[in-house]
Chain A
Amino acid sequence: MTPAMTPARRLMVLKPSAMIGLFLVAGWLLVAALAPWLAPFDPLTSLTPLASPGTHAPGGGIFWLGTDLLGRDILSRVIYGARPVVGLSVLATSTAYLVGVSAGLAAGYFRGATDAILSFLASVVLSFPVLVLYIVVIVALGASYANVVLAVTFGSAPAIFRIVRAIALDIAGRDYVAASQAQGERAHRILIQDILPNAAPPLLVDFCLRIGYSAITIGALGFLGLGLPPPTPDWGGMVAEGRAMALAFPHLVIFPCLAISSLVVGLSLLADGLNAEGRRG
């Protein structure tokens, strides 16, 4: 790896598994962006209940993945379902990162009372099982886009805080940080210019993985009936809706499960590739 390699060039030399991950993630991003043009039917309209995959729709067209109990086209719901899952997992992970990184940098750099208080708070939150924490937040505040983001942020930020704090503690003792301090740089400039860029590679890998976790979380919340309010197409909710009938109508759950799996596997493979690339670089 030469210092002159651009990020795009770095991606191009990723190992094949990472390329598959990139392909899957990019594919779902495209599906989410182009949902209105890709979906063959309105995902909320009842047409023919429990049609098998490949059945002809009454008004023309084909239910390629069949329909659900209420007669809604599953392919269209999977396509539209990519929007909240992809959008919310990226948004929720970003907000969790914003909180976790800010707190982690502050704790690792300032140490002392700041570190003690923030670490204590993080430990308190981390002492709860994460899923229980999500459920408590959603039940207390109600199911909505904003509250799903809030729940994921609340549950994930402490773990991010711990990673960032450990990295910041290490970097804060380096010579170049001491040099900046000697030059009289303000703390926030040191945090942003010296510490954060050097903490970025491992955080990038964690970010990718955590988006996958968030996608699983959003799916799990939907499955538990705590995700997005109906009738929003929601992969987890679709699995929950079809679960009781899965043995008789497997198409109700197979396709949303495949969607969740492919996105999460894609993100994991991509994170793995970036990690390997980081170690090489």
Chain B
Amino acid sequence: MESFIKIAYFLTIILFIFGLKRMSSPATARSGIVWAGVAMLVAVMATFFWPGLQNIALILVATITGGAAAWVSGKKVEMTDMPQMVAIYNGMGGGSAAGIAAVELLRGDIHSSGILTLSVVGGLIGALAFSGSMVAFAKLQGIIGGRPITFPKQQLINVILFVLAVISGIGLVVGDGGATMITIFFLLVLAFGIGVTLPIGGADMPVVISLFNALTGMAVGFEGFAMDNAAMIVAGTVVGAAGTLLTQMMAKAMNRSITQVLFGAFGQEEEGGAADGIEGSLKPIEGDDAAIMMGYASKIIIVSGYGMAVAQAQHKVREMADLLQEKGVEVKYAIHPVAGRMPGHMNVLLAEAGVPYEQLFDLEEINAEFSTADVALVIGANDVVNPRAKTERSSPIYGMPVLDVENAKNVLVIKRGKGTGFAGIENELFYRDQTRMLYGDAQAVVSDLIQQIKQI
């Protein structure tokens, strides 16, 4: 019986690795997840035959209810809300690893201090990823604001929490444990996870989620070592390594370092919302004027952001672009690496609306072209077109690569209201002389523009 499970796990790991490999190329990506899904099913089925497994009814109920809850929420969620769903499911995995550690520690039948250490470390990382991911979810979902939440002595408090958590973890390894000690340990780690994520701004969230993803992978790997479970060891470690690399690549795409992301908000408690030093005013424009401006342009670059996605305006945007192209206008889409909420998110959304890949351009490819564009149409994007990221050292987004929209002859901005972007900072671009504002829901505004363009 045991060797049957080992063979199943072996198969699972091989399928996981091939699945992951296939997922890293657009052409084979879809089949990759299916392979990995089959592998998971094999592993779970095999585990039901684990020798001496009790509480089978309990396991079945937990698997079915948990799986059903995730299935329903995962199917229902809008494409725009995907990033926070990744965060929440990732947090669940971390919580699960921490739960395993808690059960093992409570049982107290691990006698090797080496294995005990692995279990405690896995529990620590898992619980950290759990509470951190929950905060990330709450920020992206808008339950708590996307802005960095800072308060005095925050860094000191986090350090103290971490040190106390490590000390109680050591206590669990050398001491004789006990429910109280285990509870204190996990509470400290959970608090640390919250404390460390709160000050991170919304714009940096993708990197943080990716980091927590890698951490959960490591936690799973550690618990795998503690439980002598090869599938968990290999899958967890593979994700830990892959996730770390992915985190670095994402951070690089945003021109941020991991340390900047994690500790960037500390020590700068200035209110980013103030429009200090910005001259000029916000100048609204009517739909018909905007339509004429676009209809007679020879080149338009569309910069779409999260606001477009929220308004589900991507289909209307494509319709408008088609219309403009019929009139002989050259239309290109500029895709910021983190447009939407995550790298690649906007590509997915525009692909969904049927925009051809050939019209999508990366930041590096398109930035030089803004100076030759008659109109840059910014739809629900804010922080990624903020010129201050290039000039203002004190700005929270300083150093993040931005689209050089201000080089276009005219800038049209479709915006829901006068509020700030996700990073919570004012955008100088909107006050420039060549900029005109179209206020309203992106879908409604673009529908109106389509009607107006048809009339010219």
User: A and B from one assembly?
Assistant: no
Chain B residues with a Cβ under 8 A of chain A? none
Chain A residues with a Cβ under 8 A of chain B? none
